[in-house]
Amino acid sequence: ELNATDFGNLEAEMQATEYERLRTFEDGYWWYVAQRNNLIGEIAQLKLRPEARVLDVGCGTGRNLIELVRALRVTGFGVDVSPHAAALWNGVPEVHRCLASLNDLPYAEGRFEVVSSVDVRDIFIQEEPIEEIVRRIYTGPSVLEFGK
């Protein structure tokens, strides 16, 4: 019989396994590639200046952000609440990441030209996080993309 502590440990282990699986598939599996290409295409239409600041909320492994930085020569910032995701982040100088909650983003207002969020909406418990994201958007163009 499982108690609450056992369940928490199993949940953490499953999250770690899921992030490892995501890292394995996201480079080649058609769904992840198409989703990433769509995101890059939408943001490319905004014709951002080089080095524009883009925030990816719920960046997970950071792969979308890395490819966005490479394709559009922007400066990427990623935030995710999961230490399992953070364990998979690699050192790309143009990509800055931190562990933080959507409810308590560690950035000053007006810092970003674009804020993106892919496949994160289904984890929102209430609408306040969306308002927090919107508050962080710079006065320039913006894209909010929510999957699921």
pLDDT for the residue numbered 135: 63
- pLDDT tens track for 73-87: 999 999 888 888 888
Residue by residue, what is the 3-state secondary structure of the chain?
A: CCCHHHHHHHHHHHHHHHHHHHHHHCCCCHHHHHHHHHHHHHHHCCCCCCCCEEEEECCCCCHHHHHHHHHHCCEEEEEECCHHHHCCCCCCCCEEEEECCHHHCCCCCCCECEEECCCCHHHCCCCHHHHHHHHHECCCCCCCCCCC
Q: What percent of the chain is predicted at pLDDT more than 70?
A: 70
- pLDDT tens track for 63-74: 999 999 999 999
- What is the average pLDDT across 49-59? 88
pLDDT-based confidence at 142, cuts 50/70/90? low
